[in-house]
Amino acid sequence: MTGIIDYGAGNLRSVANAVHALGIEPRLVASPEDMAGLTHLILPGVGSFGDCMGELEKRGLTASIREWVAAGKPYFGICLGYQILFDESVETPGVRGLGIFPGKVVRFTEDGRKIPHMGWNSAVPTDPADPLWTDLGAAPYFYFVHSYFPVPADPAIVAMTTEYGETFASAIRSGQVTGCQFHPEKSQQAGLHLLANFLGVAVPAVV
C-alpha cells in the first residue's frame, strides 16, 4: 500500500498517475491517521521549502515522517520532498527542514547559466549495482525543474550526480530512504522504472 503525501501542493496527480500505471492504487496522505497500513511513502514537491515545511507541520505530518524513516520504512522524496530531508535551505532562512540528514540546500550560482535548471539531463549512479537503478542504464536521463539542490554533509549518501555547470547530488540513498531532485513522474520510461524499482513491482509491458 503506497501513500502520497498531500500538503496542499505538489505534483500529486502526476505522481498518482505514474504509480497507478504500475498497477498500484495510491492513497493520499493528509494526516498522520492516513499513514496507517502503508508500506511505502512518497513525498512529491513543488513550491518553496518554507511553505512545504509549514504545511506539513500544520497537518501534523513532520513528526510522523520522521518516525516513519526512523522505523526503517521506504520513503521516496521527489524534488522538494528530497530537499526537506536536510537541515535547512537558503531559500527560506530560519526554517528548519526535517533534519533527517545533515546538510544544506543551496541555489545554483549566478554565472550566466539558465536558472532554474529545466529540462532533461543525465544522472550518473555512484553505485551502478544498487538494485534501485536496475534497467536504467549507466546514465539515465530524467526531467529536472529546480533552482536549488541539497549538499549532503555525508558524501556517502550521494547516490546519483548530475552536471549543470557544477556537479550536484541529484539523488541520495540511505537505508530505506531515497531522494531525487528530478521528477520521475515526468521522466517517461526511466521514471517509471525507477518508481517500479522503489515499489518492488514490474513495469507493465504497455503503460
List the domains of the chain with CATH numbers. Answer: 2-199 (3.40.50.880)
150: helix, strand or coil: strand
C-alpha cell at 12: 500529486
188: helix, strand or coil: helix
Half-sphere exposure of 167 (CA within 13 A, CB side): 8
- The residue whose grid cell reads 504545511 is 55
> Is 10's pLDDT higher than 90?
no
| pLDDT band for position 98 (cuts 50, 70, 90) | very high
| pLDDT band for position 206 (cuts 50, 70, 90) | low
User: Given this model, what pLDDT does residue 46 score?
Assistant: 80
User: Given this model, what pLDDT does residue 8 score?
Assistant: 81
Catalytic residues: 79, 183, 185
| pLDDT band for position 204 (cuts 50, 70, 90) | confident
Q: How far apart are CA 111 and CA 44, in angstroms?
A: 29
Percent residues over pLDDT 90 in the chain: 91
Model's pTM, two decimal places?
0.95
